Structure 1
C-alpha cells in the first residue's frame, strides 16, 4: 500500500459515513459540518448518523469508503465495534480528530486497538504549545509542505503503540510543578494500517477555531482523503 491518497479529488460514487455526537463540549455537529462540504466536493455521498447505532449494519459498513468518527465518550456495543473493525480490515477508511476519535467508547478495548491511541490527559487545560512534523515523514502526502505551528488549545497526552506511523508530535515540558520529571514528546497525528484499511488520527480540534487554522484544515482534509478507500 502506497502513501498516496486513496483516490483522486474528483472520483465519484464514493460513500462517507459521519458518526457524530456524544459529549457536546467538542461541538460534534458544528465540527463535522465544517468538513462535510469538502467531502461532497471531493466526490463522496455523505450519510450522517448521531449514534454508533450506525455501526449495526455490517453490510453497509463494508460498502462505505470512509467513516468520519466524531463521537466523544459514549458507549458502543461489542457488535458495533466488531462491525467497524471488520469493515476497516476489509478496506473502509476511518478518520477523525481529538476526543471524537481517541476518547470514544472507553469501555471497548477493541476500539482502542483499532485506533491505536487513547486520550489520557490534557494537562493545564487550554495551553500554548507547538506541533511539528516528524522530519522523516515530511514527504508524506498528509503533511507535505507543512512544518511546525503553535496552538492555544488542549494539548492531548495520548497512550499509543508503535504500529502507528507518527506524522506530527508535540512536547510536554517538565518543570518543578509537573508530576512528570522529564520532557516527553508525544504523537499529535498519526496513521495506522489495519488489514486493507487505513486509519487517520489527529489530536487537534478541541475548539472549532482549532480546525480552521490553515495548517490544521489542510492536515485534516488530507487525512480524510488519505484514509478513504
Structure 2
C-alpha cells in the first residue's frame, strides 16, 4: 500500500511537523509513504494512481482545474483522502468539486483559541472507546454537507462576538463515502500540540487508516 502525503501552504499550521506525527502509524500499518511538497503532484496522474491514500495538509493556496479533476477522480475511483483542520477545509476555496468531495469548508473561528468540548456522537471504529473531551484551540465554524457521517460535534455558545451561533451544533469529525473512495476530516489539528492530545491523535490516526481501507468498516 502507498500513502501520498501532500503538505505545504501556510506555515502557521506547521504542515511538516504535523504530518510527521502520523508517519509512524502509516508505516506501521504497512504503507509506503511518499511525500510531495507541491500541489503540482496533483498534475501527476501516475503518482495519484500509485496512491491508495492521499493525506493532505495544505492551508490556503489553490488548485488548477486539472489538479482538482485529477484528485477528485482518483478518490472517486477508490483512493482514500484524509486530513485535518485548515489543511483540508481552508484551501482551494474556488474549487467546488474539491469541497463537494471533502464535505465541508471552513468559514471562521470566533474567539480564535477558546475552551470548548468535543462530543463523540457516532458509533464507528474511528471513535470506538473515545469519550467526549475538552480542548483549548480554534473552534471551527464550517459549512458542512448534511450527507456526511458525523462522529464528533461541538456546540457553539454565542460568545466572542458571534451571538448568532448560540446553540449551533457543528461537526468536528466526519466521514464520507465518495464513489469507491473514502474521505476522513477532522477540524481539530491547528498544530502539533493539538494533534498530541491523546483523543485527537487516536481519532485522526484511525481516520487515516479508515480512509485508506486499513480499517475495513
Query: TM-score of the superposition, structure 1-length normalised?
Result: 0.90
Gaps of at least 5 residues in structure 1 are 1-13
- Tell me the equivalent position of 1:206: 190
Gaps of at least 5 residues in structure 2 are none
Could you say if the C-alpha distance between residues 62 and 215 of structure 1 is closer, same or farther in structure 2, counting changes exceeding 3 Å? same
- Superposed CA offset, 1:77-130 (max 9, x none): 111110111110111000000000111111211111110100000000000000
Query: TM-score of the superposition, structure 2-length normalised?
Result: 0.95
| Pick aligned residue for 1:123 from 105, 110, 114 | 110
Give the length in aligned residue pairs.
213
Q: Distance in 1 between matches of 2:99 and 2:63?
A: 12
Structural mapping, 1:113-192, within 5 Å: 113-134=100-121, 137-138=122-123, 140-174=124-158, 177-180=161-164, 182-192=166-176
Q: Distance in 2 between matches of 1:51 and 1:72?
A: 12
- Say whether 1:55 aligns with 2:42: yes
Could you say if the C-alpha distance between residues 181 and 162 of structure 1 is closer, same or farther in structure 2, counting changes exceeding 3 Å? closer
- Say whether 1:193 aligns with 2:177: yes
- Tell me the equivalent position of 2:99: 112
Could you say if the C-alpha distance between residues 176 and 111 of structure 1 is closer, same or farther in structure 2, counting changes exceeding 3 Å? closer
- Tell me the equivalent position of 1:10: none
Question: RMSD between aligned alpha carbons?
Answer: 1.3
Contact 2:110 2:161 survives alignment (8 Å): no
- Superposed CA offset, 1:52-94 (max 9, x none): 1111112331231100000001111111110111110111000
- Tell me the equivalent position of 1:11: none
